[in-house]
Amino acid sequence: MTSRMDARFAQLKSEGRSAFVTFVMGGDPDPETSLAIVKALPQAGADIIEIGMPFTDPMADGPSIQAAGLRALKAGMTLRKTLQLVRSFREGDAATPIVLMGYYNPIYIYGVDKFLDDAKSAGVDGLIIVDLPPEEDDELCIPALKAGLNFIRLATPTTDDKRLPAVLANTSGFVYYVSITGITGAAAADSSAVGSAVARIKRHTALPVCVGFGIRTPETARAIAAHADGAVVGTALVDALKASLDAEGRATAKTVNAVADLAAALAQGVRGAQQAAE
């Protein structure tokens, strides 16, 4: 684990609450606005920030995040600029862990070793790469761990007890439990099923388990956070961003606040969970 990720989960543990993990697409709707949004998230209550690396063919994403990636690409976003975004964020925030999330091809083309060097020096803490299962660990996972970055794996409802050890073997930072079989932004997660799934994963690992996919409201966030070490929200934030854009898809004066305000409401939901549980 990186020191930032370690410190953050230690701090959350001492405060007796779950993590609020936010996802936004890097460069959506343009690089400048995206940086302003990422900078506003810790203030709004985000404990960990996932930044999407835009890709033309996001096979596990629903329409909202697909569109966000295309907006970012249209605005000229590249992997190099996503790393620059993290670097700029780090100038003002040394504590909030940053996780880059996306697909393997842009990293493969950037060059794995160069990417890991640049990500580390930019202040990235972890990676979630959707299309790299444990069967392909030699590609990026092992080199990332060697470089001192977390490689955060997705576990899903189809990951049974037999397969879990393989999925968890080289996972670090936290485990991201995908609460539904499906794409981002699809069905709502059922909190009791999530509770038993998290308990099942925890029998196999001491790592924190954060839950994502299907969390859209403060109420759901609260319900999920009661069962997990963290709740991840992505599509709802991306939708709030989109709703604030003008007819041409450009940022307006409302865009940063639209995302920050929803994040603040969701953060209250997550924080409410532990109080209710205490």
Partner 1 sequence: MTTAIPNSYRSGPDERGHFGIFGGRFVAETLMPLILDLEKAYADAKADPAFQGEMNSYRTHYVGRPSPLYYAERLTEHLGGAKIYFKRDELNHTGSHKVNNVLGQIMLARRMGKKRIIAETGAGQHGVATATLCARFGLDCVVYMGAVDVERQQPNVLRMEMLGAKVIPVQSGARTLKDAMNEALRDWVTNVHNTFYCIGTVAGPHPYPMMVRDFQSVIGQETRTQMQEAEGRLPDSLVACIGGGSNAMGLFHPFLDDPSVEIFGVEAAGHGLTQLHAASIAGGRPGVLHGNRTYLLMDDDGQIAEAHSISAGLDYPGIGPEHSWLHEAKRVTYLSATDDEALDAFLLLSRLEGIIPALEPAHAVAKVMQLAPNKPKDHLMVVNLCGRGDKDVPQVGEILRKRAKQS
Task: Check binding of 80 to partner 1 (CB under 8 A).
Answer: yes
Which window, 6-14, 36-44, 58-66, 217-225, contacts partner 1 (CB under 8 A)? 58-66
Residue 173, phi then psi, degrees to nearest 5:
90, -80
Task: Check binding of 225 to partner 1 (CB under 8 A).
Answer: no
Which residue, among 236, 208, 207, has the nearest Cα to 220 in the 3D structure?
236
Task: Check binding of 145 to partner 1 (CB under 8 A).
Answer: no
Q: How far is the CB of 258 from partner 1 (least distance, A)?
A: 24
Task: Check binding of 59 to partner 1 (CB under 8 A).
Answer: yes
Is the dihedral angle over the CA atoms 182, 184, 189, 194 positive or is it negative? Answer: positive
Q: Which one among 3, 11, 43, 105 touches partner 1, defined by CB under 8 A?
A: 105
Bond before 29 cis per omega within 30 degrees? yes
Distance CA 192, CA 174 (A): 21
Q: How many residues bind partner 1 (CB under 8 A)?
A: 44
Strand partners, 129: 102
Task: Check binding of 71 to partner 1 (CB under 8 A).
Answer: no
| Residue found by looking up tokens 């660990």 in the block | 137
**Using CB under 8 A, which residues numbered 121 to 140 contact partner 1?**
130-136
Asked if 215 and 224 count as a contact pair (C-beta separation under 8 A), the reply is yes
Residue 113, phi then psi, degrees to nearest 5:
-65, -45
Residue 50 among the catalytic residues: yes
Q: How far is the CB of 138 from partner 1 (least distance, A)?
A: 10
**How many Cβ atoms from other residues are within 10 Å of residue 200's Cβ?**
16
Distance CA 31, CA 37 (A): 10
Task: Check binding of 169 to partner 1 (CB under 8 A).
Answer: no
Residue 187 or 199 having the CB closest to partner 1: 187
Token pair belonging to 231: 């709740």
Q: How far is the CB of 244 from partner 1 (least distance, A)?
A: 23
Asked if 179 and 213 count as a contact pair (C-beta separation under 8 A), the reply is yes
Which window, 34-42, 52-60, 235-243, 259-267, contacts partner 1 (CB under 8 A)? 52-60
In single-letter form, the type of residue at position 38 comes to V
CA 180 to chain CA mean position, Å: 16
Task: Check binding of 170 to partner 1 (CB under 8 A).
Answer: no
Which window, 33-41, 118-126, 160-168, 219-227, contacts partner 1 (CB under 8 A)? 160-168
Residue 47 or 137 having the CB closest to partner 1: 137
List 28, 30, 47, 61, catalytic entry: 61
| Contacting positions for partner 1 (CB under 8 A) | 54-60, 62-63, 66, 73, 78-80, 103-110, 130-136, 153-160, 163, 167, 178, 181-183, 186
Enumerate the active-site residues.
50, 61
